[in-house]
């Protein structure tokens, strides 16, 4: 009888634990969903968030600045945002801290500028007097002063042609601009307009020695203060799915297809593979995904603050915390996908 009672009590306890309500969180992407963010949907579909006690709503976005504002306003607890945009925001909005980076996605800002070879532009030095097609809010435009400084150019040596991001390549093909900036998946933009990769000149900021962090998972300080366990739980699920996605982009994109039936799987798989070098780097292979090098972060804060003329200098400790990262052994990335 005692054993029966004990078993019943244990079963009731297990039921109560299992029936505990999930913590609801809202996550905003910084842009529309593409191959390199497909693992967010993988985590959702495979129940990784639920296994951590979370119910996560994942929404598309309209840029890093908008993502930061969504989190600051309290509409979202988490999201992706560019670290330089966060440095600028914190530098211009001193006072109570409202959000913090908790996991770096792009260990290297995946930024390049491209042009048609027939224009004769062979290096950044030859950008002088040229026009760059870009959206008004794009990092290719906002980060140009830092790139120009590294290239020993006056930032005003080029002019910007403001276009919708979807029309950047068209502007170059039509001759309205000579250059457009993009992430590492630029070849897709060109090929979709019928331009062969052999006809493209690529100008990579890495060739100038520009080392900047890109997108990071941002968390509201309210969530960090009130439910730090939820932040750590989200990052465990995120890290797990991130590694799976990097190991098998094609499989991850299948879950993006479930979210958006109009997705072209082959194209988005290629996009994820092309973007992988911004995430799998010498640093992340040695130190794990998600973290920062203190020296690199300090230089980025100095450069962004100087270029944007922020009111104050962002504090590295307020900008990023490694407190919620999974153990390093769990963050070592897989081999580069092919």
Q: pLDDT by residue (tens digit) across 39-85?
A: 999 999 999 999 999 999 999 999 899 999 999 999 999 999 999 99
The two tokens of residue 267 are 């194209």
Indicate whether 304 pLDDT > 60: yes
Closest among 27, 84, 18 to 238, alpha carbons compared:
27
Check: pTM over 0.75? Answer yes or no: yes
Beta bridge partners of 54: 23
Indicate whether 188 pLDDT > 60: yes
CB 337 within 8 A of CB 289: no
Band of the pLDDT at 136, cuts 50, 70, 90?
A: confident
What domains can you pick out in the chain, each with its CATH number? Answer: 22-107+213-330 (3.40.190.10), 112-208 (3.40.190.10)
CB 101 within 8 A of CB 220: no
CB 144 within 8 A of CB 155: yes
Buried b (16+ CB within 10 A) or exposed e, 61-76: bebbbbbbebbbeeeb
CB 151 within 8 A of CB 179: no
Mean pLDDT of 293-311: 96
Model pLDDT, residue 54:
98
Residues listed for the chain = 338
The two tokens of residue 27 are 């996550």
Q: Rounded distance, CA 66 to CA 89, Å?
A: 11
Three-state DSSP at 34 gives coil
**200-204: strand order across its sheet:** 159-162, 131-134, 179-182, 112-116, 200-204
Phi, psi of 143 (to 5 degrees): -90, 0
Indicate whether 230 pLDDT > 80: yes
Band of the pLDDT at 1, cuts 50, 70, 90?
A: very low
Alpha-helical regions (H) of the chain: 2-18, 39-45, 48-51, 64-73, 83-92, 139-142, 144-150, 168-174, 186-191, 221-226, 228-247, 249-259, 265-275, 282-287, 294-308, 316-319
CA distances from 51 to 21, 43, 198, 317, 329 (A): 12, 10, 47, 30, 20
Q: Are strands 215-220 and 131-134 parallel, antiparallel or unpaired?
A: unpaired
Band of the pLDDT at 2, cuts 50, 70, 90?
A: very low
Phi, psi of 249 (to 5 degrees): -55, -40
- pLDDT 10s digits, 113-129: 999 999 999 999 999 99
């Amino acid at each position: 009888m005692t054993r029966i009672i004990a078993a019943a009590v244990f079963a009731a306890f297990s039921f109560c634990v299992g029936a505990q309500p999930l913590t609801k969180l809202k996550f905003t992407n910084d842009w529309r969903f593409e191959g390199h963010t497909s693992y967010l949907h993988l985590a959702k579909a495979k129940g990784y968030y639920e296994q951590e006690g979370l119910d996560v709503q994942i929404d598309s976005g309209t840029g890093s600045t908008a993502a930061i504002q969504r989190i600051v306003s309290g509409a979202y607890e988490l999201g992706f945002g560019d670290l330089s945009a966060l440095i600028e925001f914190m530098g211009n909005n001193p006072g109570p801290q409202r959000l913090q980076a908790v996991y770096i996605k792009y260990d290297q800002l995946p930024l390049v500028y491209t042009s048609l070879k027939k224009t004769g532009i062979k290096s950044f030095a030859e950008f002088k007097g040229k026009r760059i097609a870009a959206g008004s809010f794009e990092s290719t435009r906002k980060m140009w002063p830092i790139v120009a400084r590294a290239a020993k150019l006056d930032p005003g040596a080029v002019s910007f042609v403001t276009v919708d991001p979807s029309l950047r390549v068209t502007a170059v093909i039509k001759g309205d601009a000579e250059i457009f900036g993009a992430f590492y998946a630029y070849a897709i933009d060109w090929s979709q307009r019928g331009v062969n990769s052999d006809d493209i000149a690529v100008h990579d900021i890495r060739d100038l020695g520009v080392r900047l962090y890109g997108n990071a998972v941002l968390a509201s300080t309210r969530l960090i203060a009130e439910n730090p366990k939820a932040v750590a739980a989200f990052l465990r699920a995120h890290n797990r799915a991130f590694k799976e996605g990097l190991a098998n982009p094609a499989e991850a994109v299948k879950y993006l297809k479930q979210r958006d039936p109009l997705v072209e799987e082959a194209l988005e798989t290629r996009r994820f593979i092309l973007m992988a070098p911004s995430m799998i780097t010498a640093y992340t292979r040695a130190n794990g995904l998600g973290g920062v090098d203190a020296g690199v972060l300090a230089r980025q804060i100095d450069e962004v603050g100087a270029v944007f003329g922020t009111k104050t200098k962002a504090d590295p400790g307020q900008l990023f915390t490694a407190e919620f990262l999974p153990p390093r052994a769990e963050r070592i990335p897989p081999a580069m996908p092919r």
